[in-house]
């Protein structure tokens, strides 16, 4: 039989039933004054606080002689039924969650204006946010009870107990944060504000409608996003279906704040929301000099990992590891060496160890000293090695994220360029403007020798390259769009410098920025008719050049999506370039052409050099199959001018099979040792490639 409100469980030993919420009829009974009236036995006192749905007041229960808290629903003529329902849903859920660390609800009354009111225990004290602010006020305060780390963790574990109990009742809180935890004056701990909680056992349970709250820095819900950005899980920030793991993630973020006394996600509301969406790790920079203990760091990272299935299996398991840490025991997710286990055992049995050591010292004092010294040296080496490995991994991870951001910027520019060209081609052409072939540009004074191009180029004009079999009609059609298309190319080159859209600038301003700060080598618009518009304009192209035969154009036409292609030799200089392309199509679906941005390979390889890391050999970017896209070993390649049979550079498998296997298994990051060296890799999100750095095996010793 399905449980109903007020029904007691048939078996006291059975698992607690799911929370049931049935607001139907309750609001009507209240508004018809069938419920108890506020004021009959309660006298309202001062206002304690104000939230999204109502206000909280103190009140005196004249019949029982006790002080209570009363939450009153704020009047809203436009949303009476909606607010009543949400208010009643919160009351029914919180009243059924009977736990020492969840504030008790006494009864549901009706105010003079007919709105519902909740009567609950009056908790005298402060919320956890205020408590943590006091802890963070000085180093001395953070080390003194009741503000030291053991005291903070003791209170936090009570929060975990309340959440674990709620999960056993099929309830997800969805907005756990220090502001929603109250600390009483007698060490009571209460989890508050169950207004956005959800009952997982009921698939129809969704108490909040879209748009119920405004977007503000402390908002609990905005559109489909429920929760507080500073603590919410990535899947919650992406408005994806949630599980019990979102509460564990929020608890992990709270634990990070408790350990460091700093916000886990600093910054503004939008910065916090962006960090949540990108699954940025919790900030573990301590407010004072003391480092966060490695076991506690491991617990936090486990609870706040990006993918829910890789977190702890439950909040109980998460809390168990925190309790092990408080007892100075080994946590479940870290393997301890025998030396660490022995050391921990000795700390917990000081009297027994003292007696044993007295006997051992009297018999084999010299041998004991030698053994302990050797073990201590081994431990020190292991710690140095671990620290060095962490430094190397962090450095490569930072560089990988920097490269990823640059690739993402270029990809967005190419996407925008392709879309803009599509819109431009859908409009009628304007007046005809002159176009400039490489030969025309060679005769102009606007060209100049630019070192990174190794030839004379013009930032005042794009070059139009006509394939050998293209007729005059195609060239004439381009003239009606030449000015607009060149502006789009200039804008893409200028925006790559990171200064935002430049279409409102003058052409001269765009050209100056493209010359001085753009990371793009060439920006192209290639048309299926056989025309190429390239910026900046250059003065040389091979006579047999046909853009439709170029490897990057063929790859883009076959894939019909944004694509990072294989490196290829530039026909005008012989240097290697890395293309990012996207095809664009007519409304009929016919291919119109390809928008492309080309990066100088040597410029990308500059970023892949890790000279600051001792033992660094080389670095490479691998595609999703584990084949080498580019490598620092290919620096300085110059194959000379020409089309080179219109072939891209061949991709070869990475020599270390274990690294290829890691790439194929979609591992995000990691490190691999083999007989040839140490390999540290970091996956890029922008194009599914992986950055791999090769180091000497002894570089982390």
Q: Report pLDDT digits (tens) over 46-87.
A: 988 887 677 889 999 888 889 999 988 876 655 445 556 777
**16-20, 32-36, 234-238, 557-561, range with the lowest pLDDT:** 32-36
What pLDDT score was predicted for residue 448? 85
Strands (E), 283-396: none
**How large is the average pLDDT for residues 213-229?**
55
Domain at 405-599: CATH code: 3.30.450.20
Per DSSP, the residues of 146-184 read TSSHHHHHHHHHHHHHHHHHHHHTTEE-S--SGGGEEEE
Domain range list for the chain: 26-121, 126-326, 338-392, 405-599
Strands (E), 74-211: 105-110, 116-121, 125-127, 171-172, 181-184, 189-191, 198-199
- Is 18's pLDDT higher than 80? no
The domain covering 26-121 belongs, at the CATH homologous superfamily level, to Phosphorylase Kinase; domain 1 (3.30.200.20)
Please determine, for residue 180, whether its predicted confidence score (pLDDT) is greater than 60: yes
ω into residue 536 within 30 of 0, thus cis?
yes
Give me the pLDDT at residue 83, please.
58
Taking 70 as the threshold, does the pLDDT of residue 299 lie above it? yes
126-326, which class in CATH?
Answer: mainly alpha
Q: Is 468 exposed, middle or buried (0-12, 13-18, 19+ CB in 10 A)?
A: exposed
Looking at residues 534-546, what average pLDDT do you find? 91
pLDDT tens by residue, 22-33: 665 555 555 555
Residue 334 structure tokens: 């870290």
pLDDT band at 1 (very low <50, low <70, confident <90, very high): very low
Q: Are strands 522-527 and 531-535 parallel, antiparallel or unpaired?
A: antiparallel
Within 10 angstroms of residue 97's Cβ, the number of other Cβ atoms is 23
pLDDT band at 184 (very low <50, low <70, confident <90, very high): very high
| Mean confidence (pLDDT) of the chain | 83
H helix or E strand, kind and range, residue 579: strand 576-585
**How far apart are the C-alpha atoms of 289 and 139, rounded to whole Å?**
9
Distance, CA of 118 to CA of 193 (rounded, Å): 12
- Among candidates 109, 58, 61, 106, which has minimal Cα distance to 87? 109
Look at residue 603 and give its three-state secondary structure. helix
Token pair listed for 148: 């030291």
Interval 81-117: pLDDT, tens? 555 677 778 888 888 899 999 999 888 887 777 778 8
Whether residue 647 has pLDDT greater than 70: yes
Assess whether pLDDT exceeds 60 at residue 210: no
Percent of the chain with pLDDT over 90: 39
Q: Is 492 exposed, middle or buried (0-12, 13-18, 19+ CB in 10 A)?
A: buried
* Helix, strand, coil percent values for the chain (each to nearest 5): 40, 20, 40
C-beta of residue 691 within 8 angstroms of C-beta of residue 608: yes
Q: Is 397 exposed, middle or buried (0-12, 13-18, 19+ CB in 10 A)?
A: middle
């Amino acid at each position: 039989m399905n449980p109903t409100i007020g029904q007691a469980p048939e078996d006291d030993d059975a698992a607690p039933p799911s929370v049931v919420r049935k607001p139907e009829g309750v609001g009507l009974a209240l508004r018809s004054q069938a419920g108890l009236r506020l004021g009959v036995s309660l006298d309202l006192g001062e206002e304690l606080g104000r939230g999204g749905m109502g206000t909280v007041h103190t009140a005196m229960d004249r019949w029982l002689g006790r002080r209570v808290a009363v939450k009153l629903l704020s009047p809203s003529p436009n949303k009476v039924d909606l607010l009543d329902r949400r208010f009643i849903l919160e009351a029914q859920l919180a009243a059924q969650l009977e736990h020492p660390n969840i504030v008790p609800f006494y009864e549901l009354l009706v105010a003079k204006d007919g709105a519902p009111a909740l009567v609950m225990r009056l908790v005298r004290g402060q919320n956890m946010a205020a408590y943590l602010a006091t802890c963070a006020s000085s180093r001395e305060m953070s080390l003194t009870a009741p503000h030291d780390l053991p005291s903070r963790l003791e209170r936090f574990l009570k929060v975990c107990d309340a959440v674990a109990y709620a999960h056993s009742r099929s309830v997800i809180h969805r907005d756990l944060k220090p502001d929603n935890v109250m600390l009483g004056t007698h060490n009571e701990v209460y989890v508050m504000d169950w207004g956005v909680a959800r009952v997982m056992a009921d698939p129809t349970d969704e108490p909040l409608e879209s748009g119920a709250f405004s977007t503000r820095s402390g908002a609990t819900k905005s559109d489909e996003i429920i929760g507080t950005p500073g603590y919410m899980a990535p899947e919650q920030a992406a408005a994806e279906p949630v599980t019990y793991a979102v509460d564990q993630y929020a608890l992990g973020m709270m634990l990070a704040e408790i350990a460091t006394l700093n916000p886990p996600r600093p910054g503004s509301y939008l910065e916090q929301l962006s960090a949540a969406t990108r699954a940025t790790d919790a900030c573990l920079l301590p407010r004072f000099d003391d480092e966060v203990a490695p076991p506690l760091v491991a617990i936090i990272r486990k609870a706040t990992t990006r993918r829910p299935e890789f977190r702890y299996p439950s909040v109980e398991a998460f809390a168990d590891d925190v309790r092990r840490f408080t007892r100075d025991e080994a946590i479940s997710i870290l393997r301890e060496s025998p030396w660490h286990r022995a050391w921990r055992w000795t700390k917990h049995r000081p009297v027994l160890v003292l007696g044993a050591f007295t006997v051992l010292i009297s018999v084999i004092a010299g041998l004991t000293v030698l053994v302990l010294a050797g073990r201590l040296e081994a431990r020190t080496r292991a710690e140095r090695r671990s620290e060095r490995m962490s430094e190397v991994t962090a450095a490569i991870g930072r560089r990988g994220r920097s490269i990823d951001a640059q690739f993402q910027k270029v990809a967005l520019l190419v996407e925008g360029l392709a879309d803009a060209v599509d819109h431009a081609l859908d409009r009628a052409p304007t007046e005809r403007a002159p176009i400039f072939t490489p030969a025309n540009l060679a005769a102009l004074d606007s060209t100049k020798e630019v070192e990174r191009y190794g030839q004379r180029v013009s930032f005042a004009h794009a070059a139009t390259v006509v394939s050998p079999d293209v007729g005059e009609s195609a060239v004439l059609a381009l003239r009606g769009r030449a000015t607009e298309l060149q502006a789009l190319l200039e804008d893409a080159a200028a925006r790559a410098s990171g200064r935002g859209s430049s279409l409102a600038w003058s052409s001269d301003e765009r050209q100056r920025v493209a010359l001085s700060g753009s990371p793009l080598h060439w920006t192209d618009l290639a048309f299926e008719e056989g025309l190429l518009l390239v910026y900046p304009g250059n003065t040389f192209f091979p006579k047999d050049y046909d853009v439709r035969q170029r490897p990057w154009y063929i790859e883009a036409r076959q894939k019909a999506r944004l694509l990072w292609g294989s490196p290829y030799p530039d026909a005008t200089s012989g240097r290697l370039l890395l293309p990012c392309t996207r095809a664009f199509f007519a409304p009929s679906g016919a291919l119109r052409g390809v928008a492309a941005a080309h990066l100088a390979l040597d410029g990308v390889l500059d970023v892949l050099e890790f000279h600051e890391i001792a033992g660094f050999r080389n670095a490479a970017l691998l595609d999703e199959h584990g084949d080498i896209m580019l490598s620092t070993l290919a620096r300085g390649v110059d194959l000379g001018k020409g089309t080179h049979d219109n072939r891209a550079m061949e991709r070869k498998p990475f020599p270390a099979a274990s690294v290829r296997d890691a790439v194929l298994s979609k591992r995000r990051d990691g490190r691999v040792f083999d007989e040839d060296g140490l390999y540290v890799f970091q996956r890029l999100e922008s194009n599914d490639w992986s950055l791999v750095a090769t180091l000497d095996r002894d570089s982390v010793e």
